[in-house]
């Protein structure tokens, strides 16, 4: 069987799909991966056939700004820019690029991620079965109403009627990687829901020896790949450094480790670590609330301190706090003193540890991607 996977070009959108794509290839299926050129090296290294599609998120933002007469980035326009980019610019770009590819390569199935409906729409127009790959909790708050409205305008323009109304998954079968006890199952009642264990993906790499040998608790600090900046990292690291613990700071590709500044000896600042491997050794994660990091921390049974910065991160922070899996610091609440105090309490909170352990067990019981691939074969017919 030939399967085309497609995601937007970012770590947070591409990485969650890769374990299932790897599982499909290992079971003998022909895997094509459609993404913008910035992520071609990532998927090429995994042995997939690369398909050039869409454009980068930042290029989509520039095009969205041009719709309002200003190609330059303006913070006060960020919300409108994101609505236009994700609701219209990116879906249109992916559909336009993928339609000739689907006609040429004739895949049996298309797997698209929840924020890349353009790939799903291209499949629908070509008469190819499609499956939507989710990231986290699926409900009416996943995307802003203005974004859904723009997408629905485009869908109407295409002459497509969704089988399940206003749904970013297009009413397709839905690969659900969120623990069922925390999912809005009623929202997904009208679609075919396929539970699947979230398997964290990271580029291969070695963990520092001290991580494997550490005796004090290990605090892991990351603000991901798109939202990190030196001030955020510096403040969070300063708060964590006052704990009797080791602190590993991963700055991400946009921040030079030296920009974090001088830190005590128990703070280790690195540009990157293989997060999927590191989490097995951590005792607490302070992060931005990206869907991938949030679910990966759940899968490892770790208390979380979430400091959201944008996109779906505020929503994820609220989910973590409400479920008793950790805490959130939002806006002016985020200070070094607050980080120190909240992290200290989380490390000692037996109820938080019990809740995190319970969710980890629930995730471990979900079907592995290897078990889900045969279901994809059935859907493809």
Q: Do 173 and 251 have their domain in common?
A: no
Report the range of poorest mean pLDDT among 93-97, 161-165, 183-187, 319-323: 161-165
Across the chain, mean pLDDT equals: 91
pLDDT in the model for residue 228? 72
* Strand 130-133 versus strand 174-176 pairing type: parallel
Is the torsion defined by CA of 200, 320, 147, 162 positive or negative?
positive
Of the spans 30-44, 64-78, 153-167, which averages the highest pLDDT?
30-44
Domain region containing 373: 2-198+366-380
**How many Å apart are CA 75 and CA 114, to the nearest integer?**
25
Q: 């919300």: which residue's tokens?
A: 79
Query: Residue 140 carries which DSSP code?
Result: T
Q: Do 54 and 111 have their domain in common?
A: yes
Q: Do 358 and 371 have their domain in common?
A: no
Q: Do 359 and 224 have their domain in common?
A: yes
Strand partners, 253: none
pLDDT in the model for residue 68? 74
- The residue with greater pLDDT, 76 or 196, is 196
pLDDT in the model for residue 224? 79
Q: Do 181 and 218 have their domain in common?
A: no
Strand partners, 175: 133, 194
Residue 281's contacts (CB-CB under 8 Å, 6 or more residues apart) are 207, 211, 212, 214, 218
Q: Do 167 and 223 have their domain in common?
A: no
Q: Do 355 and 216 have their domain in common?
A: yes
Q: Do 375 and 338 have their domain in common?
A: no
Q: Do 85 and 230 have their domain in common?
A: no
pLDDT in the model for residue 103? 97
The CATH number linked to 18 is 3.40.50.2000
Instruction: Classify residue 204: in a domain, yes or no.
Output: no
Q: Do 182 and 236 have their domain in common?
A: no
Helix axes 230-241, 336-348, angle to 10 degrees: 50
pLDDT in the model for residue 226? 67
The alpha carbon of 263 is separated from its chain's Cα centroid by a whole number of angstroms, namely: 30
φ/ψ region of 4 (left if φ > 0, alpha if ψ in -120 to 50, else beta) reads: beta
pLDDT category at 144 given cuts 50, 70, 90 is confident
- Contact between 328 and 257 under an 8 Å Cβ cutoff? The reply is no
Grouping H, G, I as helix, E, B as strand and the rest as coil, residue 59 is: helix
- Tokens for 203? 């580029």
What is the tally of structural domains in the chain? 2
- Tokens for 155? 């869908």
pLDDT single digits (tens) 6-62: 999 998 899 999 999 999 999 999 999 999 999 999 999 999 999 999 999 989 988
Whether the predicted pLDDT of 165 surpasses 60: no
Instruction: Classify residue 203: in a domain, yes or no.
Output: no
pLDDT in the model for residue 139? 86
Instruction: Classify residue 257: in a domain, yes or no.
Output: yes
Strands of 86-224 (E only): list them. 109-113, 130-133, 174-176, 193-195, 218-222
**How many Å apart are CA 249 and CA 246, to the nearest integer?**
10
Q: How far apart are the first and last CA of the chain?
A: 10
Q: Do 61 and 172 have their domain in common?
A: yes
Of 273, 266, 267, 232, nearest to 250 (Cα)? 273
Q: Do 162 and 265 have their domain in common?
A: no
């Amino acid at each position: 069987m030939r399967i085309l996977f497609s995601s937007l070009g970012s770590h947070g959108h591409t990485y969650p799909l890769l374990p299932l794509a790897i599982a499909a290839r290992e079971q003998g299926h022909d895997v094509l991966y459609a993404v913008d050129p910035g992520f071609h090296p990532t998927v090429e290294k995994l042995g997939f056939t690369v398909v050039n599609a869409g454009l980068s998120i930042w290029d989509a933002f520039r095009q969205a700004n041009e719709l309002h007469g200003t190609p330059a980035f303006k913070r006060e326009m960020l919300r409108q820019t994101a609505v236009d980019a994700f609701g219209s610019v990116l879906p249109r770009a992916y559909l336009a690029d993928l339609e000739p590819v689907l006609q040429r390569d004739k895949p049996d199935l298309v797997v698209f991620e929840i924020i890349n409906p353009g790939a799903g729409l291209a499949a629908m127009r070509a008469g190819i079965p499609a499956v939507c790959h989710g990231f986290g909790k699926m409900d009416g708050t996943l995307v802003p109403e203005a974004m859904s409205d723009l997408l629905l305008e485009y869908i109407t323009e295409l002459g497509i009627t969704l089988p399940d109304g206003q749904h970013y998954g297009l009413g397709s079968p839905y690969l659900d990687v969120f623990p069922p006890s925390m999912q809005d199952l009623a929202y997904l009642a009208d679609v075919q829901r396929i539970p699947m264990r979230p398997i964290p993906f990271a580029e291969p790499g070695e963990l520092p020896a001290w991580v494997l040998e550490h005796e004090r608790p290990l605090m892991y600090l990351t603000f991901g790949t798109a939202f990190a900046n030196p001030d955020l990292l510096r403040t969070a690291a300063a708060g964590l450094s006052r704990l009797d613990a080791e602190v590993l700071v991963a700055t991400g590709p946009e921040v030079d480790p030296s920009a974090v500044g001088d830190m005590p000896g128990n703070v280790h600042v690195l540009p990157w670590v293989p997060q999927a491997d590191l989490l097995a050794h951590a005792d607490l994660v302070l992060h931005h609330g990206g869907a991938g990091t949030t679910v990966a921390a759940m899968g490892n049974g770790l208390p979380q301190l979430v400091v959201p910065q944008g996109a779906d991160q505020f929503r994820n922070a609220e989910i973590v706090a409400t479920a008793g899996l950790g805490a959130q610091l939002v806006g002016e609440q985020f200070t070094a003193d607050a980080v120190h105090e909240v992290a200290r309490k989380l490390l000692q909170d037996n109820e938080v540890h019990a809740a995190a352990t319970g969710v980890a067990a629930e995730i471990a019981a979900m079907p592995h991607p290897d078990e889900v691939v045969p279901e994809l074969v059935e859907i493809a017919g």
